[in-house]
Amino acid sequence: MRSNDTLLDLLLETQALDRVPRFGYLIRGVDNPESVTEHSWHVLFLVWVLADHLPDVDRARALDLAMVHDLAELRLGDLARTASRYFPPGAKQQAESAAMTEILAPLPGKNHKLLTEYQAGHSREARLVKACDKLQLMIKVAVYESWGATGMTRFWDNPDNFFDGGFDLVRQLYEELKARRDASDLNLA
């Protein structure tokens, strides 16, 4: 592997993101689970939809962060959150940042700093994208459960999975989701 030279090299490499599965679902028995590409679209869509209600958030910047937040997984795979603890502190984020630099090398206007801002989680936009990343995780778990998957019940007990970034709107969506799940009715057609 190496840095991408041209724009076409980058576009060709990203096609394989469809083949990187989301490890947390895969390892708990979900068949044909969400790919990292799919997860990324859902997070983008969520940011796009919520930003209309959050005038203090720079929507374009939030979309920028969401666009690349998991792109490093093209080269690293989707490493489970719990696996980070086996590595030295910060090693995973640095690995992602290094991979991102090589992946996005042909894009002068964008670089791994988008990822660094997301990882730092300080800006409003980074907090919103992180919150959407977690909210999307639980929405997907809820839908998989409505389809019959039963391997992820412990996800509901992990407070890390309910990060709202300080946004009431997100918190309300988590609450509505949990209420429907507890009632065993997501109201899907």
Minimum distance from residue 116 beta carbon to a copy of itself (Å): 15
124 versus 139: smaller Cβ distance to a copy of itself: 139
96 versus 117: smaller Cβ distance to a copy of itself: 96
What's the CA gap between 120 and 131, in Å, rounded?
A: 13
Minimum distance from residue 5 beta carbon to a copy of itself (Å): 8
2 versus 122: smaller Cβ distance to a copy of itself: 2
Q: Which two tokens stand for residue 79?
A: 């490493």
123 versus 146: smaller Cβ distance to a copy of itself: 146
Minimum distance from residue 123 beta carbon to a copy of itself (Å): 19
Minimum distance from residue 13 beta carbon to a copy of itself (Å): 7
What's the CA gap between 171 and 62, in Å, rounded?
A: 18
What is the CB-side half-sphere exposure of residue 36 using CA atoms within 13 A?
Answer: 23
26 versus 123: smaller Cβ distance to a copy of itself: 26
What's the CA gap between 88 and 85, in Å, rounded?
A: 7
55 versus 122: smaller Cβ distance to a copy of itself: 55
Minimum distance from residue 183 beta carbon to a copy of itself (Å): 13
Burial of residue 101 (number of CB atoms within 10 Å: 0-12, 13-18, 19+): middle
The helix (H) or strand (E) run that includes residue 173 is helix 168-182
Give how far Cα 165 sits from Cα of 22, 66, 106, 132, 171, Å: 22, 14, 32, 9, 9
Minimum distance from residue 24 beta carbon to a copy of itself (Å): 10
> How far is Cα of residue 73 from the mean position of the Cα atoms in its chain?
11
